[in-house]
Amino acid sequence: MKTAVSATQVERFRALVARYLGLKFEDSKTGLLAEVLQRRMEWNALPAEPYLARLEARQLRGEFGALAQELTVGETYFFRNIDQLHAVRDGVLPERARAQATRRCLRILSAGCASGEEAYSIAMTLRDVLPDPSWQLWIRAVDLNPAMIAKALQARYAGWALRETSPAMQQRWFRQKGRDLVLDDAIRAAVTFEERNLNEDDPELWQADAYDIVFCRNVLMYFTAQSAAAVVARITRSLAPGGYLFLGHAETLHGLSQAFHLRHTHGTFYYQRKDGVAQPERACLQQDDVAVGPALTAVVEGAGTWIDAIGESSKRIRELTQVTMSTGAAAGVLEPWHLGPALELFQQERFAEALGMMQAVPPESARDPDVLLLRAVLLAHSGQLAQAEDVCHRLLALDELNAGAHYVLALCREGAGDRRGAADQDQAAIYLDPTFAMPRMHLGLLARRAGERETVRNEMTHALALLEREDASRLLLFGGGFNRETLLALCRAELQVCGESV
């Protein structure tokens, strides 16, 4: 029979797991934590209090590894997110090879490598593309879970792990052994595996200028925000200037680091370390929601583009203002930059006056991301698209991961007749902030004009779900003066045109 543990003890256990392993567990996972705590107490033959005290004092040898086996997700497979491997093969590796022409060695870290499929996929992909045989490719792969490292070293896999592996790669690098597939020694020899904790400031693992490329994919999503930011800071330190970082598809550096350029090739996003000093995080706008406005569908139908529809807006923003300004929230939040009055004019669609007021912004605030974003939105709303683009680029030079700037750029690109460029900018905004509804809706509208029904259906379905929860201040700034209900109605109407019942 299991020893009972109290809610306080489980809470303490959760805090220790976050502190030492970096892992976050939501309230819904406290049942799992309680079971693991009980199992580990039993295995160590300790009651709860001594177990927690010794865990806290790091006196239980091998315990973090044992906890990793219980608490981490080791899902992985060969050639996962293959677009990223192609981006490395075609662009990143040749560029890093030029940077390392003297050293003639490229150093890659697979951080959170699980059972080795990621590191081995890198080795298989890059083996043939090194400049010449005198070059060395050094791949270091680390994971907290000792069982994963043992499996990686065995290099023996079930067929399921090769579900995304091409027949040519399978034939070249694997041989059948029983029901499993065993990896060729040449690839095994290219990778070094170690048990390491990414959540520790390990001076050997995180030496300065140690890696050309770091893969840390599908790891940070399980971390607390604080631990994720600390790991990214270590990765930044250990990457060569101009080195590259690859995260999982569902992960971004947005809100974690300003030390990277965002790169987008091969249909995938990744990051390149810059040498500039990190910028402070942007303050968030906050505002209460409002719900007034005309039927947007008619306006959008009549307008050439979404930016035209925004330009044709009339009274909408004024109506919103009357409600929102009575809350006082916008003016209050923006007070430090004295943007309240300009925002108020924006909300009244007095764009020229708002822009004029922003000319008077003191020089020390002129580089503030909030100031630049509002200026870009104002310029876009008043039809000055080239100037709006210019301001967006200035903002992105300061804060490259600013999803709002990418969205305004998407509007500008559409206005300039560059549909592909508009879609790229929307994709960047979505990648950087998957909760941002407007670029989804805009992508849907772009697709509608191109007659791409499947994309319309997909994007409008996403937009509909996101709009329900979209931040009110963001709707105010980016919603083109349309309120939540009107934007939702537009999405539903577009979906109905595609034959969806909503």
Ligand X SMILES: C[S@@+](CC[C@H](N)C(=O)[O-])C[C@H]1O[C@@H](n2cnc3c(N)ncnc32)[C@H](O)[C@@H]1O
Binding interface with ligand X (CB under 6 A): 21-23, 68, 72-76, 80, 112-114, 118, 143-145, 148, 197-199, 217-219, 222, 248
Shortest Cβ 209–ligand X spacing (Å): 21
First to last CA, the chain: 51
CA nearest neighbour of 232 among 257, 251, 212, 249? 257
Q: Which is nearer to ligand X, 346 or 431 (CB)?
A: 431
Long-range contacts of 424-431 (CB under 8 A, 24+ apart): 424/264, 427/264, 428/262, 428/264, 428/269, 428/403, 429/403, 429/404, 430/403, 431/252, 431/269
Q: How far apart are CA 248 and CA 22, in angstroms?
A: 17
- Fill in the amino acid letter for 336: P
CA nearest neighbour of 448 among 386, 481, 494, 485? 494
Give me the phi and psi of 112, to 5 degrees please.
Answer: 85, 55
Using CB atoms within 10 Å of the CB of residue 198, give its burial: 0 to 12 exposed, 13 to 18 middle, 19+ buried: buried
3-state secondary structure (DSSP) of residue 243: strand
Q: Which is nearer to ligand X, 109 or 345 (CB)?
A: 109
CA nearest neighbour of 92 among 258, 255, 215? 215
How many helices (H) and strands (E) would you count in the chain? 26, 10
Q: Which is nearer to ligand X, 152 or 391 (CB)?
A: 152
Shortest Cβ 71–ligand X spacing (Å): 8
Shortest Cβ 452–ligand X spacing (Å): 30
Buried-exposed string 406-431: b where 16+ CB fall within 10 A, e elsewhere: bbbbbbbbbbeeeeeebbbbbbbbbb
CA nearest neighbour of 93 among 262, 270, 235? 270
Shortest Cβ 223–ligand X spacing (Å): 7
Q: Which is nearer to ligand X, 55 or 498 (CB)?
A: 55
Q: How far apart are CA 309 and CA 482, in angstroms?
A: 10
Shortest Cβ 259–ligand X spacing (Å): 21
Shortest Cβ 39–ligand X spacing (Å): 18
Q: How far apart are CA 78 and CA 177, in angstroms?
A: 18
Q: Which is nearer to ligand X, 23 or 422 (CB)?
A: 23
Shortest Cβ 245–ligand X spacing (Å): 13
Q: Which is nearer to ligand X, 200 or 500 (CB)?
A: 200
Q: Which is nearer to ligand X, 146 or 383 (CB)?
A: 146
- HSE of 218, CA atoms in CB hemisphere, 13 A: 12
- Fill in the amino acid letter for 60: L
Q: Which is nearer to ligand X, 148 or 339 (CB)?
A: 148
Strand partners, 273: 260
Shortest Cβ 7–ligand X spacing (Å): 25
Shortest Cβ 432–ligand X spacing (Å): 20
Q: Which is nearer to ligand X, 116 or 481 (CB)?
A: 116
The position carrying tokens 């994971």 is: 143
Name the DSSP letter for residue 2: P
236 and 209 in contact (C-beta within 8 Å)?
no
Compute the residue count for the chain: 502
Q: Which is nearer to ligand X, 113 or 329 (CB)?
A: 113
Which structure tokens are listed for 300? 């959008």
Q: Which is nearer to ligand X, 218 or 324 (CB)?
A: 218
Shortest Cβ 288–ligand X spacing (Å): 39
Shortest Cβ 111–ligand X spacing (Å): 7
H helices present in 22-74, as ranges: 30-44, 48-56, 63-71
